[in-house]
A = this chain, B = another copy of it.
């Protein structure tokens, strides 16, 4: 090829690079065969401890759930995972239709008008929603009510700081408040008065942002039902493995009045000259590649493949299936709570509040409990004291359809032994 280009060595192509910048070599070992590479990577994987699904009672934003084999069978198709963002619609209808279906699924689940193609995760979804409210209302304060996931709160703060948005804890919006953000169920697993918070936000002319658990929406009132303006959340439970925290997928849906403020990709229905239906990237005037510094967000690459996984999951489960696992999770969590509170020294931290399948409970021996459980192969509850000074000795425990009754017995036995 050099000859065809008309030069006699690679150097001829690197002439623009100042000599002083050239390095002799990369300070990295030489390459390895695939076999040796996999041996090295596998040895790293083997240095991690894997707790079995059924004995995992820890949640806190990432949950073990049944993942149909169908999900990986779809997302592992190279036609999906090795394609780029669908810039050329005629050659990308597979991805475009799948995302259009995802947008519909999320809109249905949240009972809102429009959802986007995906965001990075639940945390950045909360932050992007806050930015929407900030721009929409022109107000510089965002209220966070109750126990929002502490990491979501941190990310929200980091986003706010750049643009000088004040993030405050509280649920009493004023004329300065751009948005009220609440999580349903909250980080402790407890149900909050979403409708009430929404009303208060609206009364103050603020945007109501609900951060929701997608599985819970098969049972609980969706944001659209109580009038929230924006719904965001983390989609990990929709067919994605814990994977040490990522990649997962953030989703965002909103009322039609806010659609032009949405961050990220939007897919719309279209037609060709022969009247055949097709799908395209649309409303791009919101996006960075068109609007540059005036864009609603800087997001470009998002989490398409994770959104695809979530679509496969929701399509496979259907409304009945999701409702079923949500209800099974509810029953098992309540059965576990009953078993635990029957033990000496164990009591619900907020006995008067309802929960779904994750609940905060005060335990007698916080210091040793999880180490003891780990010895039995159990991943125990999550220590809330790590984030909340006021919750000393309080752990949240989670149950889903993967924690069979025998697993619950094993847990109860282990903590009481």
Please give the residue numbers on chain A whose beta carbons come within 8 Å of chain B beta carbons, in ascending order.
33-35, 38-39, 54, 66, 68-69, 73, 76, 78, 401-402
A35 B66 Cβ-Cβ under 8 A? yes
B66 A34 Cβ-Cβ under 8 A? yes
**CB-nearest residue of chain B relative to A66?**
B35
User: How far does the alpha carbon of A346 sit from the alpha carbon of B38 in the complex, in Å?
Assistant: 34
Residues of the B chain whose Cβ atoms lie less than 8 Å from the Cβ of A69: 34, 38
A33 B76 Cβ-Cβ under 8 A? no
Contact partner of A402 (CB less than 8 A), chosen from B35, B68, B78, B401, is: B35
A-B contact pairs, 11 of them (CB 8 A): A33-B66, A34-B66, A34-B68, A34-B69, A35-B66, A35-B401, A35-B402, A38-B69, A39-B54, A73-B78, A76-B76
Residues of the B chain whose Cβ atoms lie less than 8 Å from the Cβ of A38: 69
Residues of the B chain whose Cβ atoms lie less than 8 Å from the Cβ of A34: 66, 68-69
Given contacts A34-B66, A35-B401, A76-B76, 8 further A-B contacts (CB under 8 A): A33-B66, A34-B68, A34-B69, A35-B66, A35-B402, A38-B69, A39-B54, A73-B78
**CB-nearest residue of chain B relative to A39?**
B54
Mostly, the A contact residues are: helix
**CB-nearest residue of chain B relative to A68?**
B34
User: How far does the alpha carbon of A417 sit from the alpha carbon of B78 in the complex, in Å?
Assistant: 50
Give the 10 A-B CB pairs with smallest separation, nearest first: A35-B66, A34-B68, A34-B69, A35-B401, A35-B402, A34-B66, A33-B66, A76-B76, A39-B54, A38-B69
Residues of the B chain whose Cβ atoms lie less than 8 Å from the Cβ of A68: 34
**CB-nearest residue of chain B relative to A35?**
B66
Residues of the B chain whose Cβ atoms lie less than 8 Å from the Cβ of A78: 73
**CB-nearest residue of chain B relative to A73?**
B78
Quick one: which of A39, A73, A78 has the most chain B CB within 10 A? A39
Quick one: which of A35, A39, A54, A66 has the most chain B CB within 10 A? A35
Q: How far is the CB of A309 from chain B (nearest CB, A)?
A: 16
User: How far does the alpha carbon of A68 sit from the alpha carbon of B54 in the complex, in Å?
Assistant: 33
User: How far does the alpha carbon of A54 sit from the alpha carbon of B39 in the complex, in Å?
Assistant: 10
User: How far does the alpha carbon of A38 sit from the alpha carbon of B39 in the complex, in Å?
Assistant: 27
Residues of the B chain whose Cβ atoms lie less than 8 Å from the Cβ of A33: 66
**CB-nearest residue of chain B relative to A54?**
B39
Residues of the B chain whose Cβ atoms lie less than 8 Å from the Cβ of A54: 39
User: How far does the alpha carbon of A401 sit from the alpha carbon of B73 in the complex, in Å?
Assistant: 31
Q: How far is the CB of A72 from chain B (nearest CB, A)?
A: 10
User: How far does the alpha carbon of A69 sit from the alpha carbon of B37 in the complex, in Å?
Assistant: 12
Q: How far is the CB of A75 from chain B (nearest CB, A)?
A: 13
Q: How far is the CB of A89 from chain B (nearest CB, A)?
A: 24
Q: How far is the CB of A45 from chain B (nearest CB, A)?
A: 13
Residues of the B chain whose Cβ atoms lie less than 8 Å from the Cβ of A39: 54
Quick one: which of A34, A54, A73 has the most chain B CB within 10 A? A34
Residues of the B chain whose Cβ atoms lie less than 8 Å from the Cβ of A76: 76
User: How far does the alpha carbon of A89 sit from the alpha carbon of B402 in the complex, in Å?
Assistant: 46
